[in-house]
């Protein structure tokens, strides 16, 4: 698993380990930390996906590669499009090439839903025309194209999963609305919204996402693109109100700033194909997932205030 020490990997590794799957992680630790992988049976290799020697060692004797490593922020991709391309496109090409050279059977690619679709009128599905408006979305579309090309040219089985906006525990270093809103609410600081709050997203709790990824690992699929999404449209303003209420800060002020370039206005996806091919059905409502997320962040804050060692 590339990027296994990051937010999603930290939740996915124990999910796979519980199924008795031997997991090896490759991570450059630029965003994640080794502390996020607590299972002593999980091998962690520190290195970059663009280092071909390290990558070759990481995929040796592996049946399936889950490729999570990415330069994953829309705003950062606008500021640094070359670095975004280098990690997400060149890095993905290297991962695919290494997988073929090592005789890997399947590669599961972490793509994106909203960013890859741009301002396509929602709801979107796998038949919608991708039209990214950010370098991040474009890089993930390139990754999907290379996955499809490697399936056709080299016989590598690939599944590209288009993630909705994922949130949940272990997301302390994630750059996204839920993390920023929760941190602000717990500090009793104003919540900052870029735009007027009417922009919408499809939010998916991380445990539900991990179930979808685990299903994709096991499913007999050869060359697929699948949306993993809640199928529900939630405005950023509504999200902020939910977070404030769950943090016990209903009267927290909201500060509005200019909309950021590259951010889409509306998005949510239909997940019928995920249900058909993977048996995917999210078990958490938005509020259920937000409650667990706020509780996790509150516990981290409490531990640090007490001077204890924060648990991952």
Q: Which residues are catalytic?
A: 136
Q: Give me 76's structure tokens.
A: 């950062």
Distance CA 36, CA 105 (A): 27
Query: The dihedral of CA 268, 120, 163, 193: what is its sign?
Result: negative
Distance CA 50, CA 290 (A): 35
261 and 204 Cβ atoms separated by less than 8 Å: no
Q: What are phi and psi for residue 77, nearest 5 degrees? A: -70, -30
In the three-class reduction of DSSP (H, G, I as helix; E, B as strand; rest coil), residue 308 is classed as coil
Beta-bridged to residue 204, according to DSSP, are 166
Distance CA 145, CA 294 (A): 37
Closest by CA position to 19, among listed 278, 204, 218:
218
């Amino acid at each position: 698993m590339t990027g296994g020490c990051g937010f999603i990997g930290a939740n996915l590794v124990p999910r796979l380990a519980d199924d008795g799957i031997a997991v090896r992680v490759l991570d450059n630790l630029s965003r994640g930390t080794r502390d996020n992988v607590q299972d002593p049976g999980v091998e962690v290799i520190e290195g970059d996906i663009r280092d071909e020697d390290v990558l070759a060692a990481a995929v040796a004797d592996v049946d399936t590669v889950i490729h999570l490593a990415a330069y994953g922020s829309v705003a950062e991709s606008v500021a640094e499009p070359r670095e975004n391309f280098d990690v997400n496109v060149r890095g993905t090409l290297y991962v695919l090439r290494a997988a073929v050279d090592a005789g890997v059977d399947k590669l599961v690619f972490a793509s994106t839903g909203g960013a890859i679709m741009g301002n396509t009128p929602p709801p979107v599905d796998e038949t919608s025309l991708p039209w990214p408006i950010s370098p991040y979305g474009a890089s993930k579309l390139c990754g999907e194209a290379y996955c499809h090309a490697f399936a056709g040219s080299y016989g590598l089985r690939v599944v590209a999963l288009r993630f909705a906006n994922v949130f949940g525990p272990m997301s302390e270093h994630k750059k996204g609305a839920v993390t920023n809103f929760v941190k602000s609410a717990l500090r009793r600081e104003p919540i900052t919204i870029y735009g007027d709050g009417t922009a919408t997203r499809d939010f998916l709790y991380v445990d539900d996402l991990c179930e979808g990824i685990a299903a994709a690992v096991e499913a007999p699929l050869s060359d697929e693109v699948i949306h993993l999404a809640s199928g529900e449209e939630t405005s950023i303003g509504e999200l902020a109100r939910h977070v404030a209420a769950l943090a016990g800060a209903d009267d927290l002020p909201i500060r509005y700033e200019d909309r950021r370039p590259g951010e889409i206005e509306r998005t949510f996806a239909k997940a019928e194909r995920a249900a058909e091919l993977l048996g995917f059905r999210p078990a958490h409502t938005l509020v259920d997932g937000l409650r667990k997320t706020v509780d996790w962040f509150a516990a981290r804050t409490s531990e640090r205030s007490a001077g204890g060692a924060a648990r991952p």
